[in-house]
Structure 1
């Protein structure tokens, strides 16, 4: 693991080796709190603008059109963005015991259910896996949000992930219910969810499937593989930052479940490949706005999981933890240094953390759904996804700086 030395250095510089480690913790917390406040002020609203005890994340700021205009009423509904917003709010509640974040997380879960026409599910397995993870974390960390309906929803989503396993087709689980594309963005979060909800064997199977079917010669993880009607399989070798993130998360959970060093070897390889191929001057590279706005933040979340939750006693785990922490902290510093400021003095983050952010306005196109994906606004900083991603990064930096472990108690979650 000597190749990780270059990645470890930033962690040594930014975490506890400053003259005052307490001030580093305060700084990380203050930055994350500012990002949370900005999203709450600019994006969080009641469903329909009026429904009590609900929240929903507006997909753009400024919003398109006037109140009740066609542009505003038909603004894109992005289920998986909302799931990540729940996860982000849980971070704030866990790291700072922020009551507003906890209350908004519960209200947002109600809002998602209402906005999704009184359903927790949809046709996309990756979407459902993300919401399942958000529900699981909310239930585990914010006990007063874990009502009966949320527990039933979590079990429903967990069972959907488990039952979609399709070895007869060469899977994996597919991207969506009507598809034969088996991809990392569905199998990665599904593996993490199953590991945390009492389905350890399938979780490890999914991690192994990703490694066996989607590992590239570069060491990175490919997007997915098509299973064609004639039985042939076609690899889509496109690489995305969030694919590396969920693979790291799945392997971290698999190691916690099994203790097998093979999972540490995979984490080592992915970390080195990410540092070599998916950073700019050591900063995780961006993927624009729209759906791509979330990609780097997802990688940051699971880098932080490696940094905080790999068991310290495992051989080589210390180097892996430090390398992952270094990537998070370098990116967090860059994102903060390159932020813009809105008229209320709150931060606005860009899609590329190594470049200065721009302050958006209401001109130009807002994010729009095209097929199964969401296209960026003409100014990506306008997109909720971009702001959530930076928020996740800054909360990941808090996790690394204060040593906040995702898991407590048993190394094998119930």
Structure 2
């Protein structure tokens, strides 16, 4: 039974070339990057090369890249780093479709007394840019809207939102973890002040990421220690993982020209076949710009969990990976107004760099066959 992996939005395999690039820094070039001897300097130089590669991927300057342990820490540093500079009565804005790595820090800031406005989205999962503008108050200190949704893949109108923020001189943060490496991301075009990167979403290791901080954006660290990462993220740097993130960024920049078109074609063929063979199937976000690799689709009359249990060789998700196993509708599908039974029947298929045409076709056939079997069974949702 050959595994078909269609859960690239949850995590990606580390590229062999990335592993090869990392290995010398576990044992041969093991020096502390803060040390002045040759081993320390070698580690520091490797980290700065990685910083340059990450910066080049998003059109930033290397001194605007702060390395972190991943997307969650980057999001926390952005939200707490901005808001803790202001009194607890201050206001900020987030969207209703954010990943828990933004939604949960938002909940904590609310507990601390900060005022929060949550802006909704349309039925396709696109945040209302005009409502962001309407929500801005005199004491609004931050706006945070993701670049691309992790569940349905819809790309958000960041440039329009940025115009509203710029007019009121309000910093704009975006969680770009799902977009980096799948679509072109250029910070000057988006006009954002803070941007989150997660390594394991782009063929780098888990446990490493970065936060782009536009030069001049005031930020308060929430960890205390030595003066690493421009004083924003103390702690001895994880040299091998940062090297891996840098090399993965270099590969992503080269891959964007061809990879996106290939995976988009595979996704579209998979979607067309499922819609044709499963009467009543519903594609979420299909009428708006989406990530080229992402398909969120609901199968009528069955639950997504039961459907995937029927196909153990297919690795996919019933929603965001962080929600796997939960029975309630995801925050994104709820914000889109998706009915509960439709949400329950939803699975997310996310393709990647190593997906083949044959795997995409086989996945469509397996899902169709499983749906037909379950539709005939009185125990289909048990």
- The verdict on a shared fold, with TM-score over 0.5 as the criterion, is no
Q: Which has the higher helix share?
A: 1
State TM-score, norm by structure 2.
Answer: 0.26
User: Whose RCO is larger (CA < 8 A, sep 6+)?
Assistant: 2
Q: Decide which structure has greater strand share.
A: 2
Larger radius of gyration: 2
